[in-house]
Amino acid sequence: MSESRGVKPGPEPADRVVIGITFGNSNSSIAFTVDDKAEVIANEDGDRQIPTVLSYVDGDEYYGAQAKAFLVRNPNNTVAYFRDFLGKDFKSIDPTHCHAAAHPQDTAGTVCFSVKDKGSEDEPSSVSVSEASTRFLRRLVTSASEYLGKTVTSAVVSVPTNFNDRQREALIKAANDAGLEVLQLISDPVAAALAYDARPEAGVEDKIVVVADLGGTRSDVAVVASRGGMYTILATAHDYEFSGVHLDQVLMDHFAKEFIKKHSSDPRSNPKSLAKLRQEAEATKKALSLGSNAQFSVESLADGFDFSSTINRIRYEMVGRKVFEGFNRLVEGVIKKAGLDVLDVNEVIMCGGTSHTPRIANNFRGIFPESTRILAPATSTTAINPSELQARGAALQASLIQEYEAADIEQSTHPCVTTVKHIANAIGVVAVGPNGEDVFTPIMQAETAAPARRIVHIAAPTPGGDVFIKVVEGGTHIKVTKPEPKAKDATENGDEDSDFDSDEDEEEKREKVWKIGTQLAEAAVKGVKKGGKVEVMVNVAADLSVTITAREVGGKGGVRGNLAA
Ligand code: ATP
């Protein structure tokens, strides 16, 4: 589940005060647990999504929303969008998002920002990405400590699945330098899944979950197999072309065109007007997630002209169509990459700020079958705030592991232990169906991590007697049923060329059906009572050897067999 750990010796387990942190490229959040429930902490400005931005004015350091506001008046001393540069060489970064903030600079191959952090009259300092991260994390830890009334010592931090070892080490070092012990780095989609699965009403369920993390500068999608509370990432996709800033851009262009029509001047051509346009476009975009209309209003947008306009959600969804379609393709692509079909997906967890957008959730609703739960504010009344999921998951994980010694945490998260074996195919029982056909009942889903044990109860034939059971491997395939062509009823329509007898509107039916594979074992349970049931238990050991036991429920004895790995 987790991938790395702090390098410095931390406090004694009993002395730890732990939180969960998500340190995003656009926003960060901090969370803690109380009575096994995770809560996101509001900082001193009242923000739970804290912009990952630092700004320096007259030697004072601002962070979060206050710093972000300085992107208009003080962009050169404002450091934003730096998280993704951690642990990277200058030549491998994409500085696009920093064009309206302090520019990343090449300092002997590493990434630095030149900002006047001591005073406006002083020479600028060169602040490395690592130092900027340390300063920002220190502010988060201070906020959390003030909120909790005690000094935070340790944290679980969530990171994207494509963070490499160097990026992980750089993050841990930046946190350590801020006086924070990193108990564990947990991957973003697992943190999000944990936040949902830790709810008291959530039972342990074998399921395939798609976690769509749609953020400000990137979109990350993962297909996760959740088997008995263990998470395995089956496939991931990362995209930098379709995300929140691209929706901001769509609105910026829309309102810029209106402004040009009125005043024959383009507010995008002047950096200050552009920054104002960007801030208001983001606010309008967020308002459109809640209401069907939103205001766009900026004082002195450009050339001294105030500008005010409105947009409705339908228009916004039209101008943003390409970006919305991009999210659909990303999700469909990663499911394919995992070798699965939308019909295999039990749950879609939408996280990240952009997941508040109703159109995206509604589009996903259209892609997946009815049976798939789409967990987003627009499609589910029980959805958790998508912006809070990862911090909550990280906090829950922190509270789970805080009592362990650092060395034990390292051992339990060492690759040998976390990369456990999985069964490739589902295991199930074949029994005889009502029409004499073989019916497959899955006991253990494919991708279940070993060791694992599952039990099913199978009804014996009504009169009782001997029950024969075949334990087999199973696979799935998608059965497509084309709609029956409608017979043309010329007499009723009175018009053979009528447009209405086309069957265009009827969609083909796609369903997941089991395919019975290799037989693993066969057993007979003799003399089952009338109306009785047979219990089949499948036990897969860590080396993937299988033990199968079949017995009558409530009866004595039974049959047991072993299969080598
Ligand atoms: P990244 O790392 O991709 O830059 P992040 O994980 O740091 O992103 P998030 O808070 O998940 O940041 O996402 C930020 C994006 O979400 C921003 O583009 C923001 O405008 C957008 N956003 C936040 N709230 C809403 C909302 N209610 N409706 C639509 N978009 C929103």
Three-state secondary structure along 424-467? Answer: CCEEEEEEECCCCCEEEEEEECCCCECCEEEEEEEECCCCCEEE
Give me the chain's average pLDDT, please. Answer: 89
Mean pLDDT of 295-318: 97
d(Cα 40, Cα 348) in Å, to the nearest integer? Answer: 22
DSSP 422: B
Exposed, middle or buried: residue 497 (CB in 10 Å: 0-12, 13-18, 19+)?
A: exposed
Point out the ligand 1 atom lying closest to the alpha carbon of residue 28. Answer: 7
Residue nearest to atom 16 of ligand 1 (CA): 353
Which pLDDT score, from 0 to 100, does residue 3 have? 43
- Helix 129-148 to helix 165-177 angle, to the nearest 10 degrees? 50
Digit-coded pLDDT (tens) for 100-122: 999 999 999 999 999 999 988 88
Residue nearest to atom 24 of ligand 1 (CA): 353
Which pLDDT score, from 0 to 100, does residue 503 have? 47
Residues in the chain: 565
d(Cα 398, Cα 158) in Å, to the nearest integer? Answer: 11
Point out the ligand 1 atom lying closest to the alpha carbon of residue 97. Answer: 4
DSSP 508: P
The count of other CB atoms within 10 Å of the CB of residue 58 is 10
Which pLDDT score, from 0 to 100, does residue 419 have? 58
Q: Is the pLDDT of residue 494 over 70?
A: no
Question: Taking a C-beta distance cutoff of 8 angstroms, is the pair 32, 395 a contact?
Answer: yes
Q: Which residues line ligand 1 (CB under 6 A)?
A: 24-27, 49, 215-218, 243-245, 282, 285-286, 289, 352-354, 356-357, 387
Q: Is the pLDDT of residue 500 over 70?
A: no
Digit-coded pLDDT (tens) for 117-150: 998 888 999 999 999 999 999 999 999 999 999 9
Q: Is the pLDDT of residue 495 over 60?
A: no
Distance between Cα 27 and ligand 1 center (Å): 7
Distance between Cα 221 and ligand 1 center (Å): 15
Percent of the chain residues past pLDDT 70, beyond the cut: 92
Distance between Cα 109 and ligand 1 center (Å): 30
Mean pLDDT of 29-41: 96
Does this complex have an ipTM over 0.95?
A: yes
Residue nearest to atom 26 of ligand 1 (CA): 286
Distance between Cα 217 and ligand 1 center (Å): 8
Distance between Cα 26 and ligand 1 center (Å): 7
Q: Which tokens in the block code for residue 350?
A: 């939408």
Closest to 452 (Cα-Cα) out of 232, 190, 230, 202: 230
Confidence class of residue 412 from pLDDT cuts 50, 70 and 90?
low
Buried (b) or exposed (e) across 8-44, using 16+ Cβ within 10 A?
Answer: eebeebeebbbbbbbbbbbbbbbbbbeeeebbbbebe
